[in-house]
Homo-oligomer: A and B are copies of this chain.
Amino acid sequence: MTAVTDTQATIAAVRRDVAALHAELTRYQLVVWTAGNVSARVPGHDLLVIKPSGVSYDDLTPDNMVVCDLNGAVVDGEHAPSSDTEAQAYVYRHLPEVGGVVHTHSTYATAWAARGEPVPCVLTMGADEFGGEIPVGPFAVIGDDSIGRGIVETLRGSRSPAVLMQNHGVFTVGPTARAAVKAAVMCEDVARTVHIARQLGAPLVIDPSDIDSLHDRYQNVYGQQKDRR
């Protein structure tokens, strides 16, 4: 296979993956209408694949995904890319270990974001997946680098793959798009359970050393070896 057809096959695979992963956002009710998206880096290329803007989840196919460069400019695709493309491109430019990014306005996580309050780590699931609290990033208006910069700066100061952008919603990252989707699912689940716990009193604190050991085991032992995130 030539390098060109090899690249085409790689991009086709990423298009399929990104289109299909949106079904997890609707399955777990993390999104309504068209308000949320998945993107993935094209391995070995300075490219990303992302949801088209304003297209229903029912209508997503590999073909209508949009390929952009890492400045967010469209390289291939008949639709305009998600309006979150610039923020996500910024993340790929500045965090080379990131292979996938997800954005949602999932209800409970966004409620914490509306108060500008991180979700405390009071569940073993939170320790497993996030290694501590789920942090809050700055308020930032769409249109320049400020959302991307806020995501990157917040994630750099944390073990969490999720950041709650103030008054806005959730961005999650992962080595793959699938891992970023998993983090988005877990973020809402943890945000919801801690919210509900807090409604009737104060959750019990988990010792930081227990958080460390839970996080270490989960990141290194859980799941099938071939499928480790």
CB pair A115–B202 under 8 Å, yes or no, is yes
Distance between Cα atoms of A136 and B163 in the complex (Å): 31
Q: Min CB distance, A73 to chain B, in Å?
A: 16
- A and B contact pairs by CB, cutoff 8 A, 12 listed: A32-B185, A53-B224, A54-B224, A80-B225, A114-B122, A114-B194, A114-B204, A123-B167, A123-B168, A124-B169, A167-B203, A167-B204
Query: Which residues 183-229 of A have a CB within 8 angstroms of B?
Result: 185-186, 189, 192-204, 206, 210, 213-214, 217, 221-225, 227
Q: How many copies does the complex hold?
A: 4
Residue of B nearest to A168 (CB): B124
B residues near A158, Cβ cutoff 8 Å: none
Binds B, one of A4-12, A137-145, A149-157: A137-145
Known: A110-B193, A124-B141, A195-B196. 6 other contacts (CB 8 A): A35-B125, A55-B224, A80-B223, A107-B189, A107-B192, A141-B214
Residue of B nearest to A194 (CB): B114
Proximity string of chain A (161-187) to chain B, C-beta cutoff 8 Å, 1 when within and 0 when not: 000001111000000000000100110
Interface residues on A, range: 35 or more
CB pair A227–B54 under 8 Å, yes or no, is yes
Known: A33-B186, A167-B123, A192-B107. A80 touches B224 (CB 8 A): yes
